[in-house]
Amino acid sequence: MNHPQTPAPVGTAHQDEEGRTGLSADALKRAFLDNLFCVQGKFPALATRTDYHLALAHAVRDRLLQRWISTAAAYTKQGARTIGYLSAEFLMGPHLGNNLINLGIRGAAEQALAELGLDLDSLLAAEVEPGLGNGGLGRLAACYIDSMATLGLPALGYGIRYEHGIFQQEIADGWQVEKTDRWLRYHNPWELMRPEWTVEVRLGGRTERYADATGRERVRWVADRTVNGIPYDTPILGFNTATANTLRLWRAEAPEAFDLDSFNRGDYFGAVNRKTVLENITKILYPNDETLQGKQLRLEQQYFFVSASLQDMLRIMRTQRLPLASFHEKFAIQLNDTHPAVAVAELMRLLVDEQQLEWEDAWAITTRTFGYTNHTLLPEALERWPLPLFRAVLPRHLEIIFEINARFLDEVRARFPGDDGLLARLSLIDEHGERYVRMAHLACVGSHTINGVAELHSVLLQRDVLKDFHALWPQKFTNVTNGVTPRRFLALSNPRLAGLIDEAIGPGWLTDLTQLKRLEPLADDPAFRARWRDIKRENKRVLAARVQRSTGVTLDPDSLFDVQVKRIHEYKRQHLAVLQVIDLYRRLREDPSLVIAPRTFLFGGKAAPGYWAAKLIIKLINAVAEVVNADPAVRGLIKVVFLPNFNVSAGHDVYPAAEVSEQISTAGKEASGTGNMKFMMNGALTVGTLDGANIEIREAAGPENFFLFGMTVEEVEALRAAGYRPQDWVARNARLRAVLELIGSGHFSRGDTQMFRSLLDGLTYHDPYMLFADFDSYLACHAEVDAAYRDPERWARMSILNTARSGGFSSDRSIDEYAKRIWNVRPVAVKLLTREDVRGSVLQ
C-alpha cells in the first residue's frame, strides 16, 4: 500500500470552513492526517490500511457530530414528537461510504486521499461490516432509519449492540460452517458510549403486594438479577440535510465486574462467573433457541433492550420537563415485528408500578403509544413463550399480561356473548397443551395500529393470520408496503448507473424516486440502451472478480447473471431453482444441439445454525456447482456458484450486476421482500410468483416486463384443500422425475445415494411449499427468460423500464406513509450550529 505523502504545513482553516467540519478536499485531508496522528497514533511508515480507514472514518464522524448536535438542539427546543423504532435487528451495512454519499463529499474524499497517494475504494473495503441483523427485517430497519433522517423526522432507533453479530459463513466441502463474527475487533469508530445514561434492567425473582401511602394495593417486583444497560449512540445522517438522528444500541454490563470476596476465598471462577452470565445477554445475535437455555436467553435479550429503551424515553421526558400523562404525545413507538412486543407489558409496569398511575390511565397511554408491524404469514414464526419460562424470567410481566388478557376477554364477551371459541382464539394465552404467551396477540391488543408490509400480506393478515382481531377492530388494520433506500442501493452501490441517471434526468431522484419515471422515454433510445448495457456488463465484471476471490470460480460477464440471494429457507424455495438448474444441465448433456443463452446461476444466503433442511439445500447447491462447473459437456453454457457470507457489503456488488432476480416463494408465504426491490431498482428483471411485494412490482413494471410463474394464493389453498399429493406430480412429470432420480443416484454426491435422501423424501411425500406443483410453470418461465435475453435490445428496454418504474419502492415513501397515517410525526427543520453557537450557549 502507498503511504500518504507528507503535506506542506497548513495554516488556519478558512473562516467559512472550520478544520473539523469543513467539507472541501483540503479540509478533509487535514482532518484525515490529524486523526491518523492524534487518534490512531500512527505516522505513515507504520500505518496499516485499517489505520487509514479509521482516520478517515473519524474525520467523517466529526462532520456528522456537528449535524447530530444541531439536530438534538432543534428537537429539544421544539419538544418534537419523536418516533421510537424498536427493533431486535439493525443490519446497517458499512457506514463510511453511505455517510460520504449523504454528506455529498465522496468526490472530495476521493480527491483528498488521491493527493496523499491513497485510494478511497481500498479504504472503503477495509470497513468491518456490523452484522447486527439476520436479513430483511434488520435491513428494513436500517433503510427506515436512513429515510427518517432524510425526511427530517425526529426519531430514535433502539436495539441491541451485539458483541458478535450474525455468524460469518464459510463453505467447507459444500457445507455451511459458522464462524464467530468479530465486528468490534478494531472498535467501532461511528459510535459514542453514553455511560451517563446507563439504566438498570431486572430479571427473575418474585412479586410482592404492599399498600402505598394512600392505602391502595400495589405490586413490587423483587428481582434476583440486575444488569446494566449501557447505551452506544451512532449518528444516522439524512441525505443532503442537516438532520442526523440517533441509533441507540444497548450493551449489557454486570453491575459488579468482579466479586472480590469469591476471589479471596480462592473461587476464581465464581469471582467472574456472574459477570459472564449477565453479559451473555448481548453477546450474540440470535442464539440457538432449540434448548431451554437458548429460549431463555432470547427472551432476556428482547426484554433487556425494550426495558432499557422505555426507561430512556422516560428519562427524556424528565429532561424536557414533560408531564408523564403526555408520554403518548411525545413518543410514537413502532414494534418491528413481535421481538419487542413485551414492551406493551413493560410500559404498563413502568407506569403502574414505578410511576404509580392507575391502570386505566396507564392503559390509555400505552394503547395510544404503540404501533405494530407484522412481518410474517408463517404461524410458526409468530413468537410464543412457554408460561413457566416467562414466569421465571419476567414474573411481574406475566401478572400484567394476565390482567390485560382478563380485561380484554371481558370486552370480547360483551361484544360476542357465548362465543367461547372466539375467546380461545383471541386470548393472549394459548391454552392448548403447554400454555404459552402469544406475543403477536399482546402486540395487537396493546397497539393502536397493526400493519402488514405488502398489499397481499395485509389482506392475508386480515383474512387468515389475525382475522379474529380484524373482526374485532377493523379500524386498527392498514398496509404500508416496504421500501429500500436508493442512497445505499443505487447511488452508493451502483455509481456508474447513478451517474448515467444523473446525466439523463438530474440528481433530484435521490430524494424523490418517482422522478425515475422520466427515464421511460430513453428506453426507446438505442444509444441510451447501449450505455445501459455497458454499465451492466462492467458491474458484472466487478461481481465476477469478487466471486473469483471468494470461490475460485471464473464467471463469464457475457452470460446471463441469474441471482437468488437471501436467507436460506424452504419457503423461499432455493431448491426449486436448483431443480431447474439440474433439468437444464440434464437436457444439455442429452442434446448437445440445444441452443440457450449462456447462464450463470448465483446463489447466496445463510441458513440458521439449527435449520438442517436449509443447510442441506446449501450443500445441494454446492454439490450441483461442483459437478456442473467441471463437466466439459456444458462448459461455456451454464455455471453455478454459491457466494459465501452474503451480507450488505456483498450486496453492493450483487444487486448492480444481476440481470434476473429470483423471487420464487410459494404464493402466500412471503410477507413482502425487499431484495426484490433492490434488484428492480438496479434494472434486474424479476422471475417471480404472485407473492409479497412481487405483485406490486409487477403492476409497477408492467406484466410484459416481469416473468410470472406459479400458482396464485387461491390456487395454492384449493390444491391443499383437495389433498396435495406430491408423488402424483412426480409420476406424471418425466422431467421432474428425471431430476429427482439424478439427485438420488448420487450423481451430485460422489456416489452417495443417501446424502440428499431426507430432502428428496421431504419433497416427494410432503412438499409443504409445493415445489412440484409449480415446477412445470417455472421451467416454462425460464424458457421465456432465455428467449428474451437473446434479444439484447428488448432486454435492455425491459431493464430500463424496471428501474424507471421502481419509484414506489423507496423507503422514503414507506416512512412518509408511517409518519402521516400511523405516527402523526412531522418534520423538524434543523439549523446547522457552528462551534461559536455552542460556545455562546455555554457562556450564557
Report, as residue numbers or ranges, the catalytic residues. Answer: 375, 566-567, 572, 674, 678
Classify residue 684 by its DSSP letter. Answer: P
Query: Whole-angstrom distance between the N-terminal and C-terminal Cα of the chain?
Result: 50
* Whether the Cβ atoms of residue 656 and residue 678 lie closer than 8 Å to each other: no
For residue 555 the three cell numbers come to: 464467471
Radius of gyration of the chain (CA): 28
Which of 523, 607, 599, 405 has the alpha carbon at shortest distance from 797?
523
Alpha helices (H) in 231-358, listed in sequence order? 260-264, 268-279, 292-319, 327-330, 343-349
> For residue 161, which phi and psi values (nearest 5 degrees)?
-90, 80
Distance CA 802, CA 684 (A): 7
Distance CA 311, CA 174 (A): 47
For residue 651 the three cell numbers come to: 450486496
Which residues lie closer than 8 Å to 393 by C-beta, 6 or more apart? 203, 204, 296, 299, 300, 303
Q: Which amino acid is located at 512 in the chain?
A: D
Beta partners for 178? 169
| CB neighbours of residue 726 within 10 Å | 20
**Residue 246: its H or E element:** strand 244-253
Which residues lie closer than 8 Å to 637 by C-beta, 6 or more apart? 588, 596, 598, 599
How far CA 282 is from CA of 187, 303, 336, in Å, comes to: 16, 11, 19
How far CA 360 is from CA of 160, 215, 322, 341, 407, in Å, comes to: 31, 18, 20, 20, 11
Q: Is 211 helix (H, G, I), strand (E, B) or coil?
A: strand
Cell 402424483 locates to 728
> For residue 448, which phi and psi values (nearest 5 degrees)?
-85, -20
DSSP state string for 116-150: TT--HHHHHHTPPP----SSHHHHHHHHHHHHHHH
Max CA-CA distance within the chain? 91
What is the chain's percent helix, strand, coil content, to nearest 5?
A: 55, 15, 30
Using the Cα atoms of residue 550, residue 551, residue 554 and residue 556 in order, give the sign of their dihedral.
Answer: negative
Alpha helices (H) in 427-525, listed in sequence order? 439-446, 455-460, 467-472, 486, 495-505
How far CA 313 is from CA of 85, 149, 716, in Å, comes to: 12, 19, 46
Distance CA 782, CA 221 (A): 61
Instruction: Give the CA dihedral 619, 623, 625, 627, nearest 10 degrees.
Output: 180
| CB neighbours of residue 454 within 10 Å | 24
Distance CA 565, CA 665 (A): 13
| CB neighbours of residue 588 within 10 Å | 18
For residue 239 the three cell numbers come to: 441525505
* Whether the Cβ atoms of residue 175 and residue 606 lie closer than 8 Å to each other: no
- Give the E-state strand segments of 376-516 in sequence order: 384-386, 429-430, 436-438, 449-452, 477-479
* Whether the Cβ atoms of residue 577 and residue 603 lie closer than 8 Å to each other: yes
* Whether the Cβ atoms of residue 218 and residue 356 lie closer than 8 Å to each other: yes
